Amino acid sequence: MHAVRVNGFPCKDPMAVNTEDFFNPAMLDRPRDTKNSKVGSNVTNINVINFPGLNTLGISLARIDYGPLGVNTPHIHPRATELLTVLEGTLYLGFVTSNPNRLFSRVVKKGDVFVFPKAMIHFQMNLAHDKPAAALSSLSSQNPGVISIANAVFGSNPPISDDVLATAFQVEKKLIDWLQSQFWENNHY
Amino acid sequence: MHAVRVNGFPCKDPMAVNTEDFFNPAMLDRPRDTKNSKVGSNVTNINVINFPGLNTLGISLARIDYGPLGVNTPHIHPRATELLTVLEGTLYLGFVTSNPNRLFSRVVKKGDVFVFPKAMIHFQMNLAHDKPAAALSSLSSQNPGVISIANAVFGSNPPISDDVLATAFQVEKKLIDWLQSQFWENNHY
Amino acid sequence: MHAVRVNGFPCKDPMAVNTEDFFNPAMLDRPRDTKNSKVGSNVTNINVINFPGLNTLGISLARIDYGPLGVNTPHIHPRATELLTVLEGTLYLGFVTSNPNRLFSRVVKKGDVFVFPKAMIHFQMNLAHDKPAAALSSLSSQNPGVISIANAVFGSNPPISDDVLATAFQVEKKLIDWLQSQFWENNHY
Amino acid sequence: MHAVRVNGFPCKDPMAVNTEDFFNPAMLDRPRDTKNSKVGSNVTNINVINFPGLNTLGISLARIDYGPLGVNTPHIHPRATELLTVLEGTLYLGFVTSNPNRLFSRVVKKGDVFVFPKAMIHFQMNLAHDKPAAALSSLSSQNPGVISIANAVFGSNPPISDDVLATAFQVEKKLIDWLQSQFWENNHY
Amino acid sequence: MHAVRVNGFPCKDPMAVNTEDFFNPAMLDRPRDTKNSKVGSNVTNINVINFPGLNTLGISLARIDYGPLGVNTPHIHPRATELLTVLEGTLYLGFVTSNPNRLFSRVVKKGDVFVFPKAMIHFQMNLAHDKPAAALSSLSSQNPGVISIANAVFGSNPPISDDVLATAFQVEKKLIDWLQSQFWENNHY
Amino acid sequence: MHAVRVNGFPCKDPMAVNTEDFFNPAMLDRPRDTKNSKVGSNVTNINVINFPGLNTLGISLARIDYGPLGVNTPHIHPRATELLTVLEGTLYLGFVTSNPNRLFSRVVKKGDVFVFPKAMIHFQMNLAHDKPAAALSSLSSQNPGVISIANAVFGSNPPISDDVLATAFQVEKKLIDWLQSQFWENNHY
């Protein structure tokens, strides 16, 4: 651990910085494969984890690809607002507010913009049965984080007690146990 | 709308401020009833909504009462870290991190302190079959907000499309529909 | 002036908010005309000025269209970092640091990402003689502002004293006067 | 110095973090001894100094125990608002504002809440002649700091010139010298 | 109350702003009278209270004049660091840190710079018996506030209970009562 | 690299800090030489670069000396508002706003104060043909940065493409080339 760090991430000597530190060949124009995803979506993150030059700059990106009827399941970004631009296709998307739990949802099409305020639960779904869709999202943090709700609740390691979850979801414990035994895929890279 | 506002909340004329603006007879020493709660818990909030003098001061409180085996179900505070002190009883509590979804959980007893970092999914449960428990939580915002996960996902108004939720939770749509038809109680006041 | 304001911008009553407040039919997929621009570029802003729902959310967007050899001239955003994604074509772009004045420049192509740190002077140019180019930029403020250098220096209203500018640019005052008599187009909308 | 630091405090590798980092067996339910305190009070701090997991989280706690007629003498927290909950007994408490120096004071009892805005001079006193009292305070910083006024003014090391203090307090220098020769106890741990 | 407000202060319509909003004829070059001050000093503030254009800009000024042996008594600025430049004369100045209460003091002369970190108790004194002194201070807030320690403690309105102060200062209550009966001048304008 | 760092700058062990860390013998009362400056001005910075104790404190200073008709050429501070006090002489000064490019300019004299909001292009000029002038500026960051417009645009290393600059300034490329071949002095130390 021999380098200066800011926010826990590396901070290069200013004299050693060069143009490549501000560049990322992210290939954001290219569709990603969604066939191997159980939920039919694939999120490509461009943030401080893989683009260290963004540290302290307060912004990052994600490209989201959706297969036919593919879903980017309900999730939150604990440290960022997300501003989504539809690149291709037609999406049903929305977010749920803090108490009371109002849903603001809508169908949006190519070229439209929609904003998910910081730390609100939100989702998107490709409405087409036969075509992919894609979006480019801007996030107001270099390190937004992501918590997929179903995965965090039913797929954590170790699992949350099924007593807690049975009460929370108003179902039998054996349903909780069954849910916890499923494979909870991470579609955010 | 005749008053000055800061953060959208009222801001009194400094010369009109008096001691009562900084005081709240919150009766935080008194157990709240948990019998009418389906999940067996009751959260009493003391924040800018009912204590306007906290505006801009960056702090608030909540007293949480738990009946026997009562649960404060998985939820997030989008704008606050929560620092919980156990007032009475023994709790099982924890939170789940952003990807990867690690669970940090523990049994805590009277006098112990545990911290839930901002916007992480967390919960508590009273482990006793026969006694109540209680906690006092400090929150790092005068307006922390609360999003109960099960309620926001299955009890929003209007409901989230069951296509999205069936994919997200890897279950049949009819189970989603049944969940959405339940009553989703708000235990945070 | 009958509404609540935050940051000087309108803040709607939470109960009056609806889905359309979070939506903008920005048509960001459609090329804008660059023929009427003297510099050959056209910037379409999506920020709190025309999308009030972004207020307090700390993010905004801009689509930039470039005609053949079109230039988005050197400028700064006083309140935002800019993260640019190339939508179409090949650009020469760069920014200049604070003392010492190092230039970090590069040729970037479709799908690449480049970041301009907050308040640094930056520019882009379409390298193609015969094709348009386009970019989508994310900005880390809902109200980033823009100061085009040549316009602000030579096209302000009223003009800056030519004594100041002749000394600053090391040229004769009559050249300054000639520059100040030109039309300084605003290509940011 | 082999570890990453944030705010000058240690920042563990995320993969090395475990549940105990978020837990503190603070025994906040247990009264502390006040007999050895000249001012009759004892403050137990739970902040980043003894609970490193609070770093960057913006919150901390203090339990305050008061003997009969015990006083938590006038002091400031330079980096935090304090939200006090009375755990036991009856307190006289207050704070003084910036110019003009208005005092906002009040008697508060078990279960009441009172807020001391950031960096204002404040104090509490147990009004009972025969019983202890206690409070639990929430502070809006993981590292609030504390400056006891009398101690800082008369007990600093080295001492402030008595010329300055005689003028400030409008008394003879020999009274200042006598005050500076006293033992100024630190009741904040 | 018909205007937009930000931070509780007026925020002009951008189109109504003019050069005079950014200007203050503060006459900071002119010595102020210190003869009518009991402590021999006079502080002239230039902040958002009398220079509304500073609102949101995070900076303000104060000119401090000292008569022979005049003192700017121990005080804090709850919302600002102070960076002092000596304009004329020789000063003894210092500040006391949070626990432990270390004093950092020094003699400084014309042209020297000294910094008092935010919310620390600090003071200055003119060491000359026969000449005035003066300083220009920069403060890191448009609304720094000032709390003169002796005034706030002994001159508040209404007074703090003498029980609290007798315990805090380790003196008899009658001395406290005598101190509270004095006139506590405000030398900050 | 063996020391703790905050913001990339050294952060001393609190126990090793001493009075000299808060002091700078800046000689801000002494005029600096302006004869060797092509633009007739000389800026002496007192910030975290040469006064490490200012780190995290959010404030810094600059003394600006102007020879007869000397100019502090148009520049921006990317991270600070500047509050200027005229120490000596009469200045013409101003700044240009973001779109639209309005100039707010004025003649100011000894003792006057003028504010340049964060990241706006601003300048000053000594109006006297035969006398020096001087100003003391307060800046709302310990590390404000400075970007002199003409230098950054025409004197960067390596140079910006003359295609970009010819389009931006609406002049022939050979004029750009000539400008880029000049010596661009840095008058900020």
CA nearest neighbour of B95 among B82, B105, B85: B105
Average pLDDT over chain E, rounded to an integer: 94
More confident residue, B5 or C158: C158
| pLDDT score at E1 | 40
| pLDDT score at C18 | 95
Q: Above 80 in pLDDT, residue F119?
A: yes
Is F119 within 8 Å of C146 when comparing Cβ atoms? no
Q: Which residues of E touch D153 (CB under 8 A)?
A: 74, 96, 121, 149
Is C150 within 8 Å of F168 when comparing Cβ atoms? yes
Q: Do chains A and C touch (3 or more CB pairs under 8 A)?
A: yes
Tally of CB atoms within 10 A around B107: 12
| pLDDT tens profile E81-118 | 999 999 999 999 999 998 889 999 999 999 999 999 99
Q: Above 80 in pLDDT, residue C126?
A: yes
Is E5 within 8 Å of C7 when comparing Cβ atoms? no
What letter does residue F183 receive in the DSSP assignment? -
Is D1 within 8 Å of F6 when comparing Cβ atoms? no
Contacts of residue F57, defined as CB under 8 A and 6 or more positions apart, other chains included, come to: E81, E83, E115, E117, E118, E140, F142
H/E run at residue D84: strand D82-88
Among chain B, residues having any CB pair with chain D shorter than 8 Å are 17-19, 22-30, 46, 51, 53-54, 57-61, 81, 83, 85-87, 94-95, 104-106, 108, 110-118, 136, 138-140
Q: What is the dihedral of CA D82, D83, D88, D90, to 10 degrees?
A: 80
Structure tokens at B35: 């019998």
| pLDDT score at B189 | 67
Domain F27-145 bears CATH identifier 3.40.228.10: no
3-state secondary structure B92-121: EEEEECCCCCEEEEEEEECCCEEEECCCCE
CATH homologous superfamily for the domain B24-144 = Jelly Rolls (2.60.120.10)
More confident residue, F92 or B8: F92
Unique residue bearing structure tokens 């952003």: B98
Q: Please give the Cα distance from E61 to D61 (Å, whole number).
A: 35
Structure tokens at D48: 């980043």
Name the pairing type of β-strands C133-139 and C121-126. unpaired
Query: Annotation-wise, does B24 bind a ligand?
Result: no
Q: Please give the Cα distance from E18 to E9 (Å, whole number).
A: 18
Q: Please give the Cα distance from F68 to D173 (Å, whole number).
A: 52
More confident residue, F57 or C188: F57
Q: Which residues of F touch A6 (CB under 8 A)?
A: 5, 7-8
Query: Annotation-wise, does F88 bind a ligand?
Result: no
Q: Please give the Cα distance from E75 to C132 (Å, whole number).
A: 63
| pLDDT tens profile D74-92 | 999 999 999 999 999 999 9
Q: Please give the Cα distance from C83 to A54 (Å, whole number).
A: 9
Is B111 within 8 Å of D30 when comparing Cβ atoms? yes
Nearest Cβ partner for F2 among D1, D5, D8: D1
Q: Above 90 in pLDDT, residue E5?
A: no
| pLDDT score at C1 | 40
Q: What residue spans in chain A does CATH classification 2.60.120.10 cover?
A: 27-145
Nearest Cβ partner for A147 among B71, B98, B188: B98
Q: Which residue stretches of chain A have pLDDT < 70?
A: 1-3, 189
Q: Please give the Cα distance from A140 to C50 (Å, whole number).
A: 19
Contacts of residue B67, defined as CB under 8 A and 6 or more positions apart, other chains included, come to: B34, B35, B37, B40, B41, B126, B132
Contacts of residue E46, defined as CB under 8 A and 6 or more positions apart, other chains included, come to: E24, E26, E28, E60, E61, E62, E63, F113
Residue of chain F with shortest Cα separation from A3: F1
Stretch F22-38: mean pLDDT, rounded?
A: 96
Q: Which residue stretches of chain B have pLDDT < 50?
A: 1-2
Instruction: Using pLDDT thresholds of 50, 70 and 90, give the confidence band for residue D57.
Output: very high
| pLDDT tens profile C36-87 | 999 999 999 999 999 999 999 999 999 999 999 999 999 999 999 999 999 9
Distances (CA, A) of A113 to B95, C25, E94: 33, 6, 55
CATH homologous superfamily for the domain C29-145 = Jelly Rolls (2.60.120.10)
CATH homologous superfamily for the domain E27-146 = Jelly Rolls (2.60.120.10)
For chain D, percent of residues with pLDDT exceeding 70: 98
Distance, in angstroms, between C103 CA and closest chain E CA? 30
Nearest Cβ partner for F7 among A2, A3, A6: A6
Structure tokens at E15: 């189109």
Tally of CB atoms within 10 A around B13: 10
Mutate to test the interface with A, among D2, D6, D7, D13 (most CBs of A within 10 A): D6
Q: Please give the Cα distance from E77 to E102 (Å, whole number).
A: 18
Tally of CB atoms within 10 A around B9: 17
Q: Compute CA D150 distance to the chain's CA centroid, rounded to the nearest angstrom.
A: 13
Predicted structure pTM score: 0.95
B143 touches B48 (CB < 8 A): yes
Residue of chain F with shortest Cα separation from D9: F4
Instruction: Using pLDDT thresholds of 50, 70 and 90, give the confidence band for residue C3.
Output: low
Q: Please give the Cα distance from B183 to B38 (Å, whole number).
A: 10
CATH homologous superfamily for the domain D21-146 = Jelly Rolls (2.60.120.10)
Nearest Cβ partner for B81 among D59, D87, D105: D59
Average pLDDT over chain F, rounded to an integer: 94
Structure tokens at F53: 């104790």
More confident residue, C2 or F82: F82
3-state secondary structure chain C: CCCCEECCEECCCHHHCCHHHHEECCCCCCCCCCCCCCCCEEEEEECCCCCHHHCCCCCEEEEEEECCCCEEEEEECCCCCEEEEEEECEEEEEEECCCCCEEEEEEEECCCEEEECCCCEEEEEECCCCCCEEEEEEECCCCCCCEEHHHHHHCCECCCCHHHHHHHHCCCHHHHHHHHHCCCCCCEC
CA nearest neighbour of D188 among D96, D60, D87, D10: D60
| pLDDT score at F134 | 98
Distances (CA, A) of B109 to A31, B85, D27, D44: 52, 9, 9, 18
Mutate to test the interface with D, among E169, E171, E175 (most CBs of D within 10 A): E169
Residue of chain A with shortest Cα separation from B151: A101
Q: Please give the Cα distance from E150 to D154 (Å, whole number).
A: 12
* Single-letter code of the amino acid located at C139: L
More confident residue, F16 or E59: E59
| pLDDT score at D162 | 97
Q: Above 60 in pLDDT, residue D98?
A: yes
